[in-house]
Structure 1
Amino acid sequence: MYRPAAFRQDDLAALHQEIAACGLATVVSQGSAGLQASHLPLLLAPEEGEFGTLYGHFARANPHWQALTGENQTLVICNGPDAYVTPAWYAGKAEHGKVVPTWNYIAVHAHGRAEVFDEPERLLQLVSRLSERHEAGRARPWSVSDAPREYIDSMLRAIVGFALPIQRLEGQWKLSQNRSAADRASVHEGLQASAADRDRALAARMGTTHSAGE
Structure 2
Amino acid sequence: MELYFGRDTTMNHERRLYAPEAYAAREPRQIVRDYPFALLFTNGADGPLATSVPIYFETDDPAETRLIGHMARKNPHAQALQTGDRALAVFAGPHAYISAGWYRERPTVPTWDYVTAHVRGTLEPFDDDATQLQLLERVTDMVEQDRDPAWTMAQAPEGKVDALLPHIRSFRIEIDSIEGVTKLSQTHPAGDRARVIDALETRGQFGDREIAALMRANERSGEPS
Report whether the alignment pairs 1:136 with 2:145: yes
What is the aligned partner in structure 2 of residue 58 from structure 1?
71
Report whether the alignment pairs 1:20 with 2:36: no
Report how far residue 44 of structure 1 moved.
Answer: 1.0
CA distance in 2, matches of 1:211, 1:159: 46
Report how far residue 177 of structure 1 moved.
Answer: 2.0
Report how far residue 137 of structure 1 moved.
Answer: 2.8
What is the aligned partner in structure 2 of residue 75 from structure 1?
88
Match of 1:78, as an amino acid? F
CA contact (8 A) 2:89 2:120 kept: yes
Q: 1:142 to 1:71 in 2, by over 3 A?
A: closer
Report how far residue 140 of structure 1 moved.
Answer: 4.7
Q: 1:141 to 1:106 in 2, by over 3 A?
A: same
Tell me the matched-pair count: 207
Report whether the alignment pairs 1:109 with 2:118: yes
Could you give the per-residue CA deviations for residues 150-198 of structure 1, whole angstroms, max 9, x where no partner exists? Answer: 2211101111110001101111111112222222222122223332352
Report how far residue 212 of structure 1 moved.
Answer: 8.6
Match of 1:2, as an amino acid? Y
For structure 2, the 5+ residue unaligned runs are: 1-16
Report how far residue 46 of structure 1 moved.
Answer: 5.9
Match of 1:30 among 28, 43, 46: 43
CA contact (8 A) 2:36 2:56 kept: no
For structure 1, the 5+ residue unaligned runs are: none
Q: 1:72 to 1:23 in 2, by over 3 A?
A: closer
Query: Secondary structure of the residue that 1:157 maps to in structure 2?
Result: helix
CA distance in 1, matches of 2:102, 2:57: 37
